[in-house]
Structure 1
Amino acid sequence: MAHEAPVAQDAPASGSPPGVPAGRSARPWDSLRRLARVHCTIEQFLANRPFERGPWLAVAFGLGIAAWFVLPGPWQWAMFLALCGAAAIAGVLVDQTGELDRDLGHLRLAILSTALMAAAGCVTVWAKSSLVGVPGIARPQVAWLEGRVIDRQDEAADNRVRLVLVARVEGAEAPMRLRVNVPLADDAPGAVEGAVVRMRARLMPPAPPMLPGGYDFARAAWFQGLSATGAALGPVQVATPAQGAGSLRAVQQALADHVRARLSGSPGAIAAALASGDRGAIAQADEDAMRDAGLTHLLSISGLHVSAVIAAVYFIALRLLGLFPWIVLRLRLPLVAALAGALAGVAYTLVTGAEVPTVRSVVGALLVLTALALGRDPLSLRLLAVAAVFVMLLWPEAVVGPSFQMSFASVIAIIAFHASAPAQRWFARRDEGWLAGAGRHLAMLLATGVVIELALTPIALFHFHRAGLYGAAANVVAIPLTTFGTMPLIALALLLDGAGLGAPAWWLAGKSLDLLLALAHFTAGLPGAVTMMPTMSFAVFGLFLGGLLWLALWSGRVRLWALAPFALATLATLLARAPDVLISGDGHHVGIANEAPNLLMLRDAKADFARDNLLESAGMRGEAVTLESWPGARCNRDFCSLMLTRNGRAFVLLMARGKDRIDTLELAAACERADIVVADRRLPMACRPRLLKADRALLDRTGGMTLDLTTGKIRTVAETQGNHGWFRIPERPVYPPRPAVTP
């Protein structure tokens, strides 16, 4: 008798999904089982890899803020909040399916907490924008204004004073907050905080980015409550002198003047910046050298300066109090020293102007002092997360700025690097001579500098389109010199000035600053000291930041997954090419790249601002040359014409440069022969180029734009602004009716 082969009961029939018995069609809960297995895999991943939850919550809060800036308008913001709410509900219900054989505590907590923190970040920045943001004035105007000065900044290097005031403008219904630049020749000695002044000024709406990816002053002005900026057109008149005692700004200015009186030249200007935060007297050449050498962070009061002051006071107080047995037996010295350091840090922050980066630094330093007083680890990502959330709650707009990103990225890099296994092995105690130990610590200092430079390079390229190559090596010398040499000498000199004995200390401080400046100029002058790159896209920047956070916040081999986004972002950055045509928002400035060794400009910019913006956006160094001096261009008093060849195709550009009236028929014929026409005025309908007419009518709606003729991609400022309150399409000017022409 033949035996039939047994049939496996669990073998799936042809076409049945995995896990579904043969002969039975898939049911809805089969998909639920497969989803449950994915949940269990993620849960196991989170359970097997210990990590700090606090930093990830701070990251989620920051992502919610960034989403508000990236998304274009209220409908999209509301949708983002709805998605966060749905994710939070899913986090609550993630293990309520009845199909799981294990608890999903880690996954549920991760989904719920990150969704709520992202929503909180979006709500925070949305609320602040609604509370403090004010629209700018509709159009440029010249008017008389009268108001109270609320801030005064002396900028001797630029030969001007910058006043921030709440003033009534002639013709306006309500007072507005303004920032006005006053030449030193028109300044009034009594125009200080609290005084009521009167002046005639030219006012401008806060300027949007000149080109896509450029600095967005309009956004910064929105969160500062500024309605306009401008320049005084005559002497400032003090209507009502300031009443009461001097302000902190007056104390800051007096301290800066005292330092510059004791130490002249560039060393005195930098010493004043270190002592009082007043950078107005630093020469532009020194600023540029410090920036190109990667040392510009030493000029602004930041974590380095605040930490140096607090640490010095902490250890001095600890040693001095330890000399008195009565105090040692009755008080906990670390707690008292921490309190003294905290008071010194707060005082230093107030005297130096209490700017956002300084406040951010002192908050972090106070948390470190608290950890020291409690006997906890002072350098941890958890404390850094607390400081970050504190700053983002008060200044959520700082998240998209370079100062916030660079300061926190550098500290994250330091903590993550020193917490890694190789660094800890390197720092482990060992039996060795002092020379070998010093060399080992110097090597670790250099390695730390390299890690910081690697972390900051993408941020610098995204915001400034440039990054220094030798900053790590320069900082190995500059940071110890400033921290342990220059700043203590300045503090000692100020202390000895009370007895008239500060001259030797000032001389030594000046020599240390001469050494710092020599290092900056030498480093900046080295071949290849600065890398220039075209504007980086948001997607590439997001890959860099995501990779940095993943690398820093995880532990073990899983952090190496960050190499994937790093590699993609690096490849995209290296393959990026400069746009061929760059057009400013008013159509007045046009830059041509990829055609000559230098950038070609339609006009010779009288100010450095336009030229520098065009060069940075094109990722080019050197000088710009005008089109009329380029052999390939044809220029007359009204237009410049240029032919560009890309991928075998010729593009004819026609760019207006004059203000005279052009015959309509002649203009129409010229436009018909051109592919792209650019003008800083409105062109008639008869002008119809083959591809694009970028006249004032179009640029008022789009803002500045860049054209890549190889790919055909056009980028505009408007597409990066959305419907946020600080970007508005200018109103059409209202002209008086023309008088009737009588025969």
Structure 2
Amino acid sequence: MQSGFDLDSSDVAHEKLKRVTITGVVGKALSMLFRARQLPEYVRNSQIFGQLEICLEKERDQLPLWVPVGLSTGIASWFLMADSHLWIAFIAFCLGLAVFVKLMGQGTRIGSAIFWFLLFLGAGCAIMWIRSVSVAAPVLERPTVATFYGEIEKTEIVSARDIFRLTLDTHEKQGLPPRVRLNVPIDKATDDLKAGAVVQLRARLMPPAMASLPGAYDFSRRAWFMGLGATGQALGDIKVIEPAKPKWGPMALLPDYRQRLSNHVQSQMDGGAGAIGATLATGDRGAISDEDAEAMRRSGLAHLLSISGLHVTAIVGAVYLLVMRVLALFPALALRFRLPLIAASCAAAAALAYTLLTGAQVPTIRACIAALLILTALIIGRSAITLRMVAAGALLVLIIWPESLVGPSFQLSFAAVTAIIALHTHPRIQSLFSRRDEAVLKRFGRAILALFLTGLVVELALMPIALFHFHKAGIYGALANIIAIPLTTFFIMPLEALALLLDIVGLGAPVWWVCEKALNGLLVLAHYVSGSPGSVTMLPTMPLAAFGLLIFGGLWLALWTQRWRAWGLLPVCCGTLIILTDRPPDIYITSDGRHVGIRNQSGELAMLRTSKGGFAYDMLLENAGIDGDAIALENWPNAQCNVDSCTVIVEASDRNWTMVTTRSSYYIPALALSAACSRADIVVSERRLPASCQPRWFKADRTLLQQVGGMTIDLESQQVKTTLSDTGRQAWTRFSDPEKRPNAEKAGKNLIITPQ
């Protein structure tokens, strides 16, 4: 009875704690005053939230594939923001939002997915920041001519341009950056110029070139992560102060062996065949002529010249099959040992050796990592060709070389592999191309169809990347690769390997002859396809928003497996629409003010200086999306030119714009210059123009160009886009500070200028 009485008393006390009557109002216990730290109930119970939970539950095996996507987005954000305060704010925002989502979304897959994506988003920005600081090195401030000492770190022969390239270590002395790269005429290259030698030379040095136009190639960014502080040209003879000390060991002798192997291959095959053969064997692309390289790019076969997945896969597959078939001939070995393990180990060794032999470039290292992951999966009995393998390889590369994300090599290689695997893992495609008992002709047709469909999907996946970086993309690449890929993988590379083996006993000449004919056939195919009408699509500089939408849509289509993957077509269509409706700029001005391009509504381009074959000339044509030659400005309608300047009438936005550009360094009287400026809407000059030069709308002289870099002008929207607005003030940029010039334009944003 006593125990029952106690129980009743405790129940009453508990009830009093839960319900307290205060002046007639029923209150709540302290524990009930706080809401559960989860998503609001109206969100958790909504139909959309429930559908998302169901979709993510079905796609739970695909969620890890978005880890490198989150890391990549954080890295890209670092490049876009270009300010340490913004980086700190971005990382703090990602971490804070991740904690908030974790607390509010406990027990939900959506909350968990968003939490991890935000963490990797912030981690990507932090990794990129750490990488940039770790490679920081002094950069030359202005062009100079200097005599200095340096230790040779690396040598490279670029026979197509008749130059010998040296990378020198100045040991941070003599007032120069610690690492410089020089071009030396090929006739001045001697046998003493080897890695480790100390030389004295005179050279013209200049800072690494920045992008000359918004969206153009930025070598200064690449040089920053390579540790290059200056580039230039050697002047006169090079004196060897201390010869290179003999080095022993495979790694020390590898560069010299690579160069001797390249020379040997080129000596066995003439012309372009020898140059491409040397590329396939050693990765040395210096001997490939500009005509052959351009034909390979325009035909969609340029990937054959970059030692990456195709070449490493061919080596690994050949070694694996060869070792398996040879060892299987010996029953004692086949019964006692696991032959797949031995074959995979030999293939891995071959992949590593080939990667080192070809220079261990980042694309080759990525392909080698992927090959090792595949071989590991084969050894442990797991599925080898999966998107998780691609994600693991991408994650490893992004952690070690996060700057490779913004380069075309990383984007092209992983986009191609992702597209191939996503295509061939689709159930309908697997059913279409699976092996079956059928006639040989049908089997061959099915293989051709699979190769064509794969090439078509890869071309579609790579086209936006090629258009964004190179402003051009091949149309017939899928058809050309049907012939080129099997020819290179199953014929040319095995023949070249066989010829090198037979050269040991002096019997490789017949095989070299056959290999040369095959390589010449590959070049004939490239030139034929590149010269065909409509073989190349040209596009002016692509808006960054359109590129981001296309990449996001492609990832959404490739990484999910359920029906909601079709939603990826929406950003793809939006990105395509932005590209189609984007209006190309009317005027292009390089960062030095020497090169000016004017584009009319029919797509023709007139240039102030038309020195064909120059870097600025080709760069202006590419950024304007012109497949052909430019017209000299003096031959342009409504243009009047003399020795000192050109005056041209540009028709745009339902009005005529008068533009004046200077073209010489001769003295121009101040009164004449001021009068010409007052009659013009736009004035462009490589000089520093006086304050008396006041055009009606816009003046771009050396003062402004040094602050904002090159620029493009859209006369319809009256907007000026600069290189500074495109790249920001990153560590590798060298724009002058406008705050030091009291009358200078403020730089850092798009210049929106209203006509007077």
Q: CA deviation at 1:730?
A: 4.2
Match of 1:677 among 666, 683, 687: 683
1:62 alignment counterpart: 72
Q: 1:663-703: CA deviations, max 9, x gaps?
A: 11111111011001000010000001111100000000110
**What residue identity is the alignment partner of 2:456?**
V
Aligned with 2:466 (options 460, 467, 480): 460
Question: Once the two structures are superposed, what CA deviation does each residue of 1:299-341 show, in whole Å capped at 9, x if it has no partner?
Answer: 1211100110111011101111111222212211111101100
In the alignment, which of 232, 235, 238 is matched to residue 236 of structure 1?
238
In the aligned structure 2, how far is the partner of 1:188 from the partner of 1:730? 41
- 8 Å CA contact 2:148–2:174 kept in 1: the answer is no
Residue 72 (structure 1) shift: 2.4
Q: Which residue of 1 aligns with 2:142?
A: 139
SS of 2:170 mapped into structure 1 = strand
State the alpha-carbon separation in 1 of the partners of residues 117 and 687 from structure 2: 49
Q: CA contact under 8 A between 1:157 and 1:280: conserved in structure 2?
A: yes
User: Which residue in the other structure is 2:375 paired with?
Assistant: 369
Q: Residue 533 of structure 1 corresponds to which residue in structure 2?
A: 539
Counterpart contact for 2:466–2:472, Cα < 8 Å: yes
Q: Mind listing any 5+ residue stretches in structure 2 that lack a counterpart?
A: 1-33, 741-756
- Contact in 1 for aligned 2:177/2:230 (Cα 8 Å): no
* 1:561 matches 2:571: no
Does 2:52 correspond to 1:53?
A: no
8 Å CA contact retained: 1:532, 1:619: yes
Give the secondary structure class of the aligned counterpart of 1:498. Answer: helix
Aligned-partner SS, 2:600: coil
Where in structure 2 are the equivalents of 1:246-265 lying within 5 Å? 247-265=253-271
Q: List per-residue Cα deviations over 1:605-659 (Å, max 9, x = no partner).
A: 3652111110011111111121123242101111100001113211000001111
Q: Which residue identity does 1:576 align to in structure 2?
A: D
Find the aligned partners of 2:226 and 2:703 in 1 and give their Cα distance.
Answer: 30
Instruction: Find the residue that maps to 1:247 and give its secondary structure.
Output: helix
1:443-592 alignment, distance < 5 Å: 443-592=449-598
Which residue is 1:85 aligned to? 95
Q: Distance in 1 between matches of 2:502 and 2:105?
A: 69
Q: Give 1:649's match in structure 2, choosing from 631, 635, 655.
A: 655
From 723, 741, 747, the counterpart of 1:717: 723
Tell whether the 8 Å contact from 1:534 to 1:577 is kept in structure 2 after alignment: no
Measure how far apart 1:223 and its partner are. 0.6
1:118 aligns with 2:117: no
Alpha-carbon distance in structure 2 between the residues aligned to 1:658 and 1:264: 45
Tell me whether 1:34 sits opposite 2:37 in the alignment.
no
Q: Distance in 2 between matches of 1:597 and 1:31?
A: 54
DSSP-derived class of the 2:505 partner: coil
Q: Are the aligned partners of 2:177 and 2:229 in contact in 1 as well (CA < 8 Å)?
A: no
Determine whether 1:164 maps to 2:167.
yes
Q: 258-267 or 401-410, which moves further after superposition?
A: 258-267
Alpha-carbon spacing, 1:235–1:437, altered in 2? closer, same or farther (3 Å): same
Alignment equivalent of 1:324, drawn from 327, 330, 344: 330
Note closer, same or farther for the CA distance 1:682–1:576 as it changes in structure 2 (3 Å cut). Answer: same
Deviating more after overlay: 595-604 vs 512-521: 595-604
Cα deviations across residues 454-513 of structure 1 (Å, max 9, x unaligned)? 000000000000000000000010000000000000000000000000011101111110
**Residue type at the aligned position of 2:67:** L
**In the aligned structure 2, how far is the partner of 1:393 from the partner of 1:700?**
35
Instruction: After TM superposition, list the pairs within 5 Å mapping 1:696-707 onto structure 2.
Output: 696-707=702-713
* Aligned residue in 1 for 2:189: 187
Q: Percent identity?
A: 48
CA contact (8 A) 1:598 1:622 kept: no
Aligned to 1:24: none
TM-score norm. by structure 1 comes to: 0.92
Out of 58, 78, 86, the position equivalent to 1:76 is 86
CA distance in 2, matches of 1:171, 1:47: 63
Counterpart residue type for residue 152 of structure 1: T
Amino acid of the structure 2 residue aligned with 1:52: Q
TM-superposed CA distance for 1:41, in Å, is 4.6
Query: What does 1:342-491 correspond to in 2, within 5 Å?
Result: 342-491=348-497
Question: Which residue identity does 1:47 align to in structure 2?
Answer: E
Structure 1: segments with no counterpart, 5+ residues: 1-26, 97-102, 735-743
How far the C-alpha of 1:108 sits from its partner, in A, is 2.8
User: What RMSD in Å do the two structures reach over aligned CA positions?
Assistant: 1.9
The normalised TM-score by structure 2 is: 0.90
Q: 2:39 and 2:587 mapped to 1: Cα distance?
A: 52
Aligned residue among 608, 611, 629 for 2:614: 608
Can you list the C-alpha shifts for 1:230-282, whole angstroms capped at 9, x where unaligned?
Answer: 11111222111111235322111010011111111111111011011111111
Partner amino acid for 1:729? F
Structure 1 residue 210: deviation in Å?
Answer: 1.0
Determine if contact 2:685/2:702 at 8 Å carries over to the other structure. Answer: yes
- Partner Cα separation in structure 1 for residue 538 and residue 595 of structure 2: 21
